[in-house]
Structure 1
Amino acid sequence: MSSRSIHEKLVALTEQMQAAAEAMDFEKAGALRNEIARLKGEAPGEGDPDSVTVGQPPPGAMGLGTQVPVRQPPKGWVKPKKPDFMTRNVKPRGRR
């Protein structure tokens, strides 16, 4: 499919989803939302903070455990700073 036809289909699906939501048909609206996400190449629950995105390892990966899905951190997540074990639990001198 060309990018133009995909865009036209996305616009049509978005209108159908909004009409289904206004008609209180939330199951149909949810299915349309998932179809839109699939066409965009996103995971269906990507905006949901409670969902966990699981992806497959790259093709051609060999070895034990390569068939196990790889967990992706949510968008905006920053790895916490590593603690400095040399200064942990050390009381400052001079003040007691």
Structure 2
Amino acid sequence: MSKAIEALQKRMQAAVDALDFEEARRCRDQINLLRGGAAPEAVERADLSGIERQQPGAMGLGTSQQRMTPPQGWKPPPKPDPMTKRRSSRSAGKRGQ
């Protein structure tokens, strides 16, 4: 199997040198299938056109959180006026003692 991987790596490097990145991508995906345990015959027949690589940060702690984007035209609400805001309940309890 390592001979098949070496041959694919050489094909991939030749494709990169020729700036044929689609062929290099196919070779890379075939190498990954071989390293995953697929048979070399099955790798040659595999249709890799629909395979998408996972985006960086898609796994791990806290990395899969989506960013919220507000709708078009949305404005944040006005901040409350601190001079008219009621005091906290802690300060009110101290006055009563």
TM over 0.5: no
TM-score (norm 1): 0.43
TM-score (norm 2): 0.43
- The structure carrying a bigger strand percent of its residues is 1
- The structure carrying a bigger helix percent of its residues is 2
